[in-house]
C-alpha cells in the first residue's frame, strides 16, 4: 500500500545504534560507574529518550516476531509466529463510531493516505516482566481520531480486535472473552507517544505482531497495545478492557508501568530484556517505562496504586 513507510529503518539506524553504544559505554566507563559492576550499573538507566526514540539498541526482527503474546492464536509465545500467517489482513477497514462527528467504516488504504508514518523506537514492557526495544513504523492515533472528529462529550476510546474464529484458532477456545477489547482515556489516546503501528524495521507489520494495524502505548503494560484493530468507539464511560474483565484484582484499566506497584503474584520492580542472554542481570523497571517526563502530568493528583 502506498505511503506506508517513509523512512526505511535500515537507512537510518545502524550508525546511530553504533554511536549510541559507544556513548553509553564510554560515558559509564569514563564516570567510573562500571567499576564494581553489579547492582549499581543495573540501576542506572543506560539510555535516554531523544525526541520520541530510546537510544537503546533495538531487539532483532527475529526476536520481535518470534516471542509474542497474541492469544487469538494460542497462549504459547511461539503460537502467533506459527499460526498467524493464515490471517487475511487485506482488505481491512476500521469502524469508527460512538461520539464522533464522522462515524463510518474507514478503509485502511484511505487512512494511510491521510496520516504521517514515522519511525518510533520504543521501549516495550509486558506485565509478565519481560521487555524489548522495538522500532515501529506508524502514525499518531490523534491523526486518526481527528479524521473521525471527536465530539466534545467523548472521554474515552474503546478498541476492539478482529473476531474471526475461522482464522484465529485461539478464539475457538474460551481463553479470554472474545473479541479482545482495550481502552484509553481520551487524553492518553491523543498523546503524541500513542501510535497505531503499521510496520516494524521498515517492513510491513507481521501478522503475529498485530497486522495490519495495532495500538502501541509505550508507557503502559503491553496488554494495552491491542492488535489487529477493527473497531474504535468514542465513549463517555470507561470501557471494560478484556484483562480487567478476566481478573480485575490483577489487571486494571490504567496499567501504567510502575515498579512500585507489584502484580499480586510477582514484583514489577525489575524486568528481563529479551535477547540479553541467560546470565544477563535483570534490569530495573522504570516508572511509566522510562516516559515519566512525557506522561506523568496526565496522572497528576491520581493515586497510582489505587488506579493500577
Ligand X SMILES: Nc1nc2c(c(=O)[nH]1)N[C@H]1C(S)=C(S)[C@@H](COP(=O)(O)O)O[C@H]1N2
Residue stretches of the annotated binding site for Mo-molybdopterin: 68, 71-72, 126, 161, 209, 214, 225-227
Within 63-122, the residues that bind Mo ion by CB under 5 A are: 69
**What is the nearest approach in angstroms of ligand X to the Cβ of residue 87?**
11
Q: Is 223 in the site for Mo ion (CB under 5 A)?
A: yes
Binding residue positions? 68, 71-72, 126, 161, 209, 214, 225-227
Nearer to ligand X, 70 or 139 (CB): 70
**What is the nearest approach in angstroms of ligand X to the Cβ of residue 143?**
21
Nearer to ligand X, 180 or 219 (CB): 180
Residue 72 partner contact from Mo ion, ligand X, none using kind-dependent CB cut-offs of 5 to 8 Å: ligand X
Judged by CB under 6 A, the stretch of 37-45, 70-78, 256-264, 291-299 that binds ligand X is 70-78
Letters for 209-228 (x = contact with ligand X by CB under 6 A, - = none) are xx-----------xx-xxx-
List Cβ neighbours of 22 (8 Å cut-off, separation of 6 or more): none
Interface pick for ligand X out of 13, 55, 69, 241 (rule CB under 6 A):
69
Q: Is 140 in the site for ligand X (CB under 6 A)?
A: no
Which residue's CB comes closest to ligand X?
222
Amino acid at each position: 500500500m502506498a505511503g506506508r513507510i517513509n523512512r526505511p529503518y535500515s537507512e537510518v539506524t545502524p550508525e546511530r545504534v553504533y554511536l549510541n553504544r559507544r556513548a553509553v559505554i564510554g560515558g559509564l566507563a569514563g564516570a567510573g560507574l562500571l567499576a564494581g559492576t553489579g547492582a549499581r550499573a543495573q540501576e542506572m538507566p543506560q539510555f535516554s529518550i531523544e525526541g520520541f526514540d530510546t537510544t537503546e539498541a533495538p531487539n532483532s526482527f527475529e526476536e520481535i516476531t518470534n516471542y509474542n503474546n497474541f492469544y487469538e492464536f494460542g497462549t504459547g509465545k511461539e503460537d502467533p509466529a506459527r499460526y498467524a500467517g493464515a490471517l487475511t489482513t487485506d482488505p481491512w477497514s476500521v469502524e469508527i463510531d460512538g461520539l464522533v462527528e464522522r462515524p463510518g467504516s474507514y478503509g485502511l488504504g484511505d487512512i494511510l493516505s491521510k496520516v504521517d508514518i514515522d519511525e518510533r523506537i520504543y521501549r516495550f514492557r509486558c506485565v509478565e516482566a519481560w521487555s524489548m526495544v522495538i522500532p515501529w513504523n506508524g502514525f499518531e492515533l490523534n491523526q486518526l481520531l481527528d479524521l473521525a472528529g471527536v465530539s466534545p462529550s467523548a472521554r474515552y476510546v474503546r478498541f476492539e480486535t478482529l473476531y474471526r474464529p475461522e482464522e484465529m484458532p485461539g478464539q475457538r477456545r474460551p481463553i479470554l472473552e472474545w473479541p479482545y477489547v482495550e481502552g484509553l482515556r481520551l487524553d492518553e489516546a491523543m498523546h503524541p507517544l500513542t501510535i497505531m503501528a503499521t510496520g516494524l524495521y521498515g517492513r510491513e507489520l507481521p501478522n503475529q505482531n498485530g497486522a495490519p494495524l495495532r495500538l502501541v502505548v509505550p508507557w503502559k503494560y503491553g496488554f494495552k497495545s491491542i492488535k489487529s484493530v477493527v473497531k474504535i468507539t468514542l465513549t463517555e464511560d470507561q470501557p471494560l478492557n478484556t484483562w480487567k474483565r478476566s481478573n480485575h484484582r490483577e489487571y486494571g484499566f490504567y496499567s501504567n508501568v510502575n515498579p512500585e506497584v507489584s502484580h499480586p503474584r510477582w514484583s514489577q520492580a525489575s524486568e528481563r530484556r529479551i535477547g540479553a542472554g541467560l546470565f544477563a542481570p535483570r534490569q530495573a523497571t522504570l516508572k511509566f517505562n522510562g516516559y515519566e517526563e512525557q506522561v506523568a502530568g496526565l496522572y497528576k493528583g491520581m493515586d497510582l496504586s489505587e488506579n493500577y
